[in-house]
């Protein structure tokens, strides 16, 4: 399978990815964000039953480049998104 090139910006929509791709995707995406000077990212995982949200937040909890994360406010996706703050290289 060919790698998929996605633009590096402050929003990552997981709707087009398979659940088993998410762990490596987050690691690679966060690394690319830090390289690009992006330290605040909104991850859109969708509302559904909350399974992907729980998985994403579990991965965030254990990721060393994640400074903090929280549920997005209603205007930024509410239950269907998580806001992530990344550590800068010198932290």
Work out how many domains the chain is built from and give that number. Answer: 1
State the average pLDDT over residues 68-76.
Answer: 93
Q: Cβ(39)–Cβ(88) under 8 Å?
A: yes
Q: Cβ(65)–Cβ(31) under 8 Å?
A: yes
pLDDT tens digits for range 11-40: 999 998 988 999 999 999 999 999 999 999
Q: Is 65 a domain residue?
A: yes
Q: Is 62 a domain residue?
A: yes
Q: Is 28 a domain residue?
A: yes
The set of residues, in sequence order, having a beta carbon less than 8 Å from that of 40 and lying 6+ positions away, is 10, 83, 84, 85, 86
Which range of residues forms the domain containing residue 74?
A: 16-86
Q: Is 37 a domain residue?
A: yes
Q: Is 22 a domain residue?
A: yes
Q: Is 61 a domain residue?
A: yes
> The pTM is what?
0.88
Q: Is 71 a domain residue?
A: yes
CATH code for position 46: 3.30.1370.110
Q: Is 57 a domain residue?
A: yes
């Amino acid at each position: 399978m060919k790698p998929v090139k996605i633009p590096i910006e402050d929003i990552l929509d997981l709707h087009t990815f398979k659940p088993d791709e998410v762990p490596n995707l987050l690691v690679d995406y966060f690394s690319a964000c830090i390289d690009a000077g992006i330290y605040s990212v909104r991850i859109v995982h969708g509302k559904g039953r909350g399974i992907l949200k729980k998985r994403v937040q579990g991965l965030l909890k254990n990721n060393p480049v994640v400074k903090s994360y929280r549920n997005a406010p209603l205007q930024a996706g509410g239950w269907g998104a998580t806001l992530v703050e990344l550590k800068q290289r010198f932290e």
